[in-house]
Structures are given as C-alpha cells and as structure tokens.
Amino acid sequence: MDKEILTMEEAAELFGVSIKTFIKLLKEEKVPGRKIGREWRFSRQALIAWLAAGDSQTYSASEGEAKDFFNEVAPKWEEISKKYDDHSLKNKITELDILEKSMILIDLGAGDGYISRCTAPLVKKVIAIDNSGEMLRELQRKARNEGIKNIEAIESDALDVPLPDSSADIVCSNMFLHHVEQPKLVIQEIYRLIKPGGTVFLADLCEHTDRNLMVQMHDLWPGFDPEQVVADFKKTGFRQVQMEIVNHGTEIGPNLVRNGNKRRLFILIAVK
C-alpha cells in the first residue's frame, strides 16, 4: 500500500522532481505540508488534490523574508553584526595555515564580505556567494575601498550555485547555515563545489534557546547539535571531519552572550 504521509524526499518523488525543485515549489507556491519539529511531512492525498486543482498562489518563505531583511540592513550590517557575531574568526582561518596563493576560495553566505575580504590577499581568487544583492554591493564597495581586486560576487541561494562541480579548493561559510531552510542540502552543495582533496571551514552556533535573537536576526534554526552536523558531513562523503567547540570567554566568542544567555560556537573543518 502506498504511504499516505510522505517525507520531503518522497513528496519530491511523487511530483517527479528533484529535492531542489521541490523546495523551490515550497517557496513559490502554496504546496500543502506541515513542519513537525525539524522535518516536513506531506499528505499524499492533499498533494494530489493540490496538483489537480491547479491553484497557483504566492508562497511567503522564511528564506525570502530573511533575504528582505538582509537587503534592508546591508549598509549597516558591519555595525549590527558586531553585536551578534565574533569577528575574530578571520584569525582562526589564517592560523590554520590552509590557504595558499594558488587557491580558489568560495565564501558561501558571504554577506558584506567579512571573510571574503580578509582571505582575498591570501588566495588566487575569492568567489563570494549570497542571495542578498544589497549585501554583495556592500561587499564590492568595501573591496574597492580596500584595493581588493580578486573577488567575484555571485547572487545565488546555496542550493543551486551557478558554478560547475569542483570549482573551489576551499569553501568557507561563516554564520550562514542557520539562515537556510535545508542545511543538509547546503552541505551536499558544498560537497559538489569542492575539488577532491579540498577543505571546508564552517562556523556556526551550537543549539541555543535565545528566541529573541532568532526573531531579530531572522534565523531559521536555533543553532545546531555539533554531533549531528559532523554526522551529516560524514554521510555526505566528507572525511577528516574535525569539530571544535568554542565557549564564551575564549579568544573566539566574547560577543556571543545576550541577556545572560550564553551561546557556544562550533568550528568544523572537513576534507573531501
């Protein structure tokens, strides 16, 4: 007997489309579904009825709302981000000694280019990717002011980056994963973009309970369980997956406290 309650993967199969295409449908159309905890579930009967009705309506996606937010705050982002993110992560990247002048680096979720601009002098080329056009314009303006000429900006989401497979030697992603609806699919896209033997540097928040922060910053996830992130990277095919948890009070993380609610940061490094 066919299942009545479907996962996202099974719903995409029912529609005869890829997961990426199905997620775009969720964003663009009022596809019937319900999010239970962190997972989407769909009624087979409701999906078939929706298809049969041919009713196409506007679907307001959380990622779309976040994009509007970042477009609006782009000119002020450098100052705003100081309240929420620790800007000493650039020291961690350089201390790891993983950057070389021959490398192409992708900065996924680049924002105004905090990571892009600090790594550009150390590599051949940086490809800065963000779905906020205003953020990328801020990045380009700041890069020009700093005399940086080897950054290419691409406006795109993180699920279908318009670059061929194995485009980069290293992918960096700083405080970006908690802004996307499908983190596991982003990890798969990172895997596609990295050359064999290439490296991922990913920093994000450990799971927290600061709901005010989530509302103010349009976060879709309250951080992540580091062990689950490691498992997701390994399942995708990455090897040599290393995880470091950084608590408040160390060299990284002095700003990661809000209203007495301590939060922790994780730094993941993995090799394809």
Average pLDDT over residues 207-213: 82
Least confident of 102-116, 173-187, 204-218: 204-218
- Give the pLDDT confidence score for residue 252 in this predicted structure: 41
Q: What is the mean pLDDT of residues 112-131?
A: 94
Copy the structure tokens of residue 85: 């993110």
Beta strands in 52-193 (DSSP E): 104-108, 125-130, 151-155, 168-174
Core vs surface per residue 1-27: b (16+ CB within 10 A) or e: eeeeebebebbbebbeeebbebbbbbb
261 three-class SS = strand
16 pLDDT above the threshold of 80: yes
Contact 161, 100 (CB under 8 A): no
Q: Is 8 left (phi over 0), alpha (psi -120 to 50) or beta?
A: alpha
Share of the chain above pLDDT 70, in %: 84
pLDDT at residue number 121: 95
Phi, psi of 230 (to 5 degrees): -60, -45
* Residue 42 buriedness (CB in 10 A; 0-12 / 13-18 / 19+): buried
* Residue 262 scores a pLDDT above 80: no
For 129-166, write each residue's pLDDT tens digit.
Answer: 998 899 899 999 999 999 999 999 999 988 889 999 99
Strands 168-174 and 5-6: unpaired
| Residue 106 phi, psi dihedral angles, 5° rounding | -100, 130
- Taking the C-alpha atoms of residue 16 and residue 22, their distance in angstroms, rounded to an integer, is 9
Average pLDDT over residues 31-36: 87
Average pLDDT of the residues in 210-214: 78
* pLDDT at residue 236 tops 60: yes
Asked if residue 98 has pLDDT above 60, the reply is yes
- The whole-number average pLDDT for the span 69-82 is 71
State yes or no: pLDDT of 250 exceeds 50.
Answer: no
- The backbone torsions φ and ψ at residue 55, rounded to the nearest 5 degrees and listed phi first, read -90, 110
Count other Cβ atoms within 10 Å, centred on residue 100.
12
CA 29 vs CA 24, 58, 93: distances in Å:
8, 5, 40
Phi, psi for residue 153 in degrees, rounded to 5: -105, 135
Q: Answer whether residue 251 shows pLDDT above 50.
A: no
Please tell me the predicted confidence (pLDDT) of residue 58.
Answer: 39
Cα dihedral value 223, 252, 73, 154, nearest 10? -80
Q: pLDDT confidence of 259, banded at 50, 70, 90?
A: very low
User: Quick one: pLDDT at residue 83?
Assistant: 62
Which residues lie below 8 Å from residue 127, measured CB to CB, with a gap of 6+?
A: 104, 105, 106, 107, 151, 152, 154, 163, 167, 168
Q: What confidence score (pLDDT) does residue 263 get?
A: 67
Average pLDDT in the chain: 84
pTM above 0.85, yes or no: no
- Residue 84: is its pLDDT beyond 70? no
Closest-CA residue to 160 (of 59, 46, 27) = 27
Cβ neighbour number for residue 39 with a 10 Å cutoff = 9
Looking at residue 89, its amino acid is L
The pLDDT-based confidence of 261 (bands split at 50, 70, 90) is very low
Indicate the pLDDT class of residue 241, thresholds 50, 70 and 90: very high
